[in-house]
Amino acid sequence: MNKAELIEKIAGDADISKKQANAALDSFIDAVAKTLKKGSKVTLVGFGTFSVSKRAARNGRNPQTGATIKIKAKKVAKFKAGAELAAKV
């Protein structure tokens, strides 16, 4: 399912226009991104938790040349499914 299909599903289920569903979804994505940028978690009971994880710097290999390269440390977004979501899947 892509974003357009999700917007269509939300609009149908909530009996709202696609424009309103798009605004709601964009607002949700923006809120999650801002919260994660601050280093906080977003927990939706029954669905799951969005959090930030730190990935340490490490050495890697260039697959074309075989040369060793340094990969910088960075923060990555992480999602852990809740019990209800995990049971449904």
Looking at every residue in the chain, the average pLDDT score rounds to: 95
Confidence of residue 38 (pLDDT cuts 50, 70, 90): very high
61, 19: one domain: no
pLDDT band, residue 34 (cuts 50/70/90): very high
The residue range of the domain holding 60 is: 41-89
User: In terms of domains, do 45 and 80 share one?
Assistant: yes
Contact 55, 74 (CB under 8 A): yes
Average pLDDT estimate for 13-36: 96
Residue 45, CA atoms < 13 Å, CB-side half-sphere = 0
Q: Is 75 left (phi over 0), alpha (psi -120 to 50) or beta?
A: beta
Check: CB of residue 1 under 8 Å from CB of residue 7: no
Are 88 and 46 contained in the same domain? yes
DSSP for residue 36: H
Question: What band does 41 get if pLDDT is binned at 50, 70 and 90?
Answer: very high
**Contact at 8 Å (CB) between 30 and 50?**
no
